[in-house]
Structure 1
């Protein structure tokens, strides 16, 4: 049970004036300290008369702030150690502000002057430390240093900045949790649900902590919106006392909520490329808008694609090819051929007439030969290629070396061997590779992963979740 349930609501009401009042002693005492040291210079001696009054007002407001902060602590949801340090540093600031005032109005002696200057110096440091710890309680310990440049991080002993997620150029390369859900939740919720401030016992800094939840149950339950506490809170009426985030903070938009709903209903996975998840047109637009993409054409190589020849498209469709636009406004195409369609396979060279438009291609279980890959290797705008369950070998893979836009390649159930990994190492944009049920060895996969840490190689049962 939270502390707020053990005290009068009036106590919490009064305590919440702490953030309002706390800025008064900070500003007033800093002005007093500044005037104290400036008054030592002849040109600023007129400030000396105002220092005592400023310290008196600052001391009173510091003591009041301590009292309100103590009442606010009953609200609960704060890290105990961080709260303890902030509380006692705040009390120390109040004490030293009184000491600074007392030594200031005390009988003017050399000793009182030195003591006053020492108190002023300690008070200045205390204000900075107390304010910093208070900020940590509100925003988390990384708030102040989150965007610090590397030289400063090194000086103050911080670890290097976490590696940024690569920029998303096309929708397929986005990770549903790492690039969409986690940034969204962090932006809206992390100030109240971080390591220093776990309001409601809820931590939202990772996928695992979301599943663990807080005092009211798990924040997220895969495929169950009703049991997902986070989803329930963000969809309450804004005037409801349990609505998240609290008043004064920007709520989740309607589109944000739809994205979280989609993620939960599709298993609330901790990772997974959107290339591996079936999206209808509406969901595609939602993800594109969130990621700042427009019709998946942020890739400059694809932005100027003209419309494909309608006669060619009609011809290919008559031979069994399924051809769809990525969206109503896009000229980019998703092309596939149903398994065992020999008639369509014989017409594979016609795909070259749409080489500037085809970005997704699925040719699985067709008896595809190595020579057929000569054609596919010329479709240099391909982003996603699925060739699973075809008898292709390393010789055929060599024809794919020019597919420099390729991000996802499915070679499950083919006859490739270790040499194919070396041939594919030239594809710098490749982010996901499926090589389960091939002649590629586990040792080779592990070695290749060490040299290409940006590449996710699927070598086991994870393939069953792929919906290309």
Structure 2
């Protein structure tokens, strides 16, 4: 009772202090230690929500009607209401102290403030009422729901302050696809700059939460700047505070956006740079920018309509070894997308190029859908070789030596929809021949012999083809680097030496070894080859001054110290995923997303059971298997993995087992390594992997058994 009396006195004093803050808060000079208390508001605000809701639910429990338990009921009820009221008023006080520090204004803040104060006062009044009237009356039935409504409203406005207005409805609004703004109607600020600021800046710089007294919601408020002065100097990006802040090191307290908020992409930073460089135009239309203006060039990418669903292909994947054999330091061959049989080929180093370089791709002619020969010494005669790639969709011949006379050789490319011939000698006559390409949709022809009248005639004659004849400012445009080339990923027994290189001179490569994304500031710079001796996921990016950083390249290296002398599949795999039998589990070749390539063994319904035999005893610590996780195809990890070991197959004991976490419907397709602890010296190992018996209710094939696909056993 004494503790209750003390808590009640604190509750009264806290409500009185809150009232004083409401009346005299604007006249208070807040000391530093009170500012710290105010900033603890987000840490405490969830406690009164939970405790008060528990109190109201408790009062509606049938327990209150049982006379034998009435005393217990009232004690718990009093404890919950007292704790909830106390945390509510302390949270409100912290919120008031936080608001006095500046940067919080507007209708959303006011609504959040007064609903929070209402919760504190109402819960205090209700607590005192319950002390005087223990019986459950009409007041109870009204007060609880009223305070609960205030909790919901206060929480909603609090989320708006933290994450930006309309935070609650953002998923619904985002799902409503907006029609892309046509290029000729787009306005520089409204359709290019403002969407970037809304996505990355306005959650902290809006009329309700003006951090640093900076509001970015309108052009007028943006030009006004904040407490640190003007945000930018038109035409002088090097003197602009905005660009300085977004390029600070990530660990710097002044870096924007702050840690925990979505960072700007390279393309978004480029857009802001060239916008300021161009004089920070507000009402100007994008189409009115000079043809060579870099901001106009960037706008073409930002104003593209949303990407369509990935194209499906009816041809089989190429042999992986063939792809690796044909890839080198001047000809890079990569899958168009993860799990896709389609290939993209990029050529570098024009000194190494010969017509034979393209002819050598004949084994992959069915799979190549994108061919980039930009800046290579390609002649008209070479186009006959290119015409042998029947599934080619995209062809880049920018700044090559073609004259256009050989374009007729491309007539057989029935799927070609994008052709780039910028910087070449093509003319009207050669472009007119493109009408024979039935799938062609877009042609890029900057800096060619085409005149405005020629382009007008082409657009009239070939209505289905979009001709882009603007000019790129090659002296100032920011081009992206290609990803670095890395030591081939795979399985090693003791160690593997990692080498990174790039086809462009002067590039520095940054990398990580823990699977995180490398950045241009903190990640280690690759200097010399290094050795790894443990399971490692390497990611690397290329950077160079004047270029945009490359996309990351990923390589996984897995250690397997032992290889069994014999492998026996005790349970037969499904016929369509029989691979090479048991050998597929120890051939040191990891299966990839192309699960029909013979590198996986698959089971559907029944357990996978594998026996591994060794001539001499081996001392194991872990046993790992590489499984495939592909939710749309009903391929799930096993529900259980057991590892048995012993001196022979008749004398084995359970060494370890594990149950992998099941994925959800949004988990992207990927190989998954499942590791089981298995300490001991053995000559015989039996692995049992149990497929998921029933697909979850959210899956399209709910209730049916899942597929289980395994590729490699790693023994360490």
* TM-score class, shorter: 0.5 to 0.7
**Contact 1:223/1:265, CA 8 A, preserved across alignment:** no
Residue by residue over 1:145-185, the C-alpha shift from the partner in whole angstroms, topping out at 9 and shown as x without a partner, is: 2224xxxxxxxxxx67342799xxxxxxxxxx999999987
Decide which structure has greater strand share: 2
CA distance in 2: counterparts of 1:275 and 1:93, whole angstroms? 46
Counterpart CA distance in 2 for 1:76 and 1:6 is 12
Out of 196, 200, 205, the residue aligned to residue 212 of structure 2 is 200
**Residue in structure 2 matched with residue 76 of structure 1 by the alignment:** 102
CA distance in 2, matches of 1:222, 1:354: 49
Q: Secondary structure at the match of 1:359?
A: strand
Name the CA distance, whole Å, in 1 between partners of 2:468 and 2:246. Answer: 41
Structure 2 counterpart of 1:226:
238
Q: Indicate whether 1:420 and 2:462 are aligned.
A: yes
Q: 5 Å matches for 1:264-283?
A: 264-267=272-275, 269=295, 271-273=298-300
How many residue pairs end up in the alignment?
369
Summarize the alignment of residues 5-84 of structure 1 with structure 2, pairs less than 5 Å apart. 7-39=30-62, 42=65, 46-84=72-110
C-alpha change, 1:227 and 1:127, in structure 2 (3 Å) is same
Q: Which residue of 2 aligns with 1:249?
A: 260
Which of 89, 97, 105 is the aligned partner of 2:123? 97
Deviates more, 1:80-89 or 1:99-108: 99-108
Larger Rg: 2
Q: 2:150 aligns with which of 114, 119, 126?
A: 126
Structure 1, residues 194-225: CA drift from partner, whole Å, max 9, x if none? 45323123346799987775443454567744
- Check conservation: 2:165, 2:203, Cα contact below 8 A: no
Partner of 2:372: 333
Aligned ranges for residues 282-297 of structure 1 at < 5 Å? 297=336
Report SS of the residue matched to 2:239.
Answer: coil
- Segments of structure 2 that go 5 or more residues without pairing to the other structure are 1-25, 181-188, 277-294, 304-332, 358-368, 478-716
**Equivalents in 2 of 1:412, 1:199: separation in Å?**
52
CA distance 1:41–1:225, change in 2 (3 Å): same
CA distance in 2, matches of 1:240, 1:130: 33
SS at match of 1:142: coil
Per the alignment, do residues 238 and 359 of structure 1 end up closer, same or farther by CA in structure 2, a change over 3 Å counting?
Answer: closer
SS at match of 2:238: coil
1:298 to 337, 340, 345: 337
Question: CA 1:98–1:19 in 2, change beyond 3 Å: closer, same or farther?
Answer: same
Provide the rounded CA distance (Å) in 2 between the counterparts of 1:227 and 1:84: 36
Mapped partners of 1:300, 1:107: distance in 2: 68
Deviations 1:232-287 (A, max 9, x none): 224446675534344x63685xxx686666545555648524599xxxxxxxxxxx
1:359 aligns with 2:395: yes
Give the equivalent residue in structure 2 for 1:145.
Answer: 169
52 and 213 in structure 1: CA distance in 2 versus 1, 3 angstrom threshold: same
Q: TM-score, normalised by structure 1?
A: 0.61
Cα distance change on mapping 1:418 and 1:394 into 2, 3 Å = farther
Cα drift, residue 376 of structure 1: 6.0
Shift in CA distance, 117/35, structure 1 to aligned 2, threshold 3 Å: same
Contact 2:248 2:254 in 1 (8 A): yes
Q: Following TM superposition, by how much is the alpha carbon of 1:32 offset from its aligned partner in structure 2, in angstroms?
A: 0.8
Verify the 8 A CA contact 1:316 1:350 in the aligned structure 2: no
Q: Which runs of 5+ in 1 are unaligned?
A: 149-158, 167-176, 277-293, 318-329, 425-432, 437-462
More helix by share: 1
- For residues 4 and 242 of structure 1, what CA distance do their matches in structure 2 show? 29
Name the structure, 1 or 2, with higher relative contact order (CA <8 Å, separation 6+). Answer: 1
Contact 1:373 1:396 in 2 (8 A): yes
Shift of 1:189: 4.4
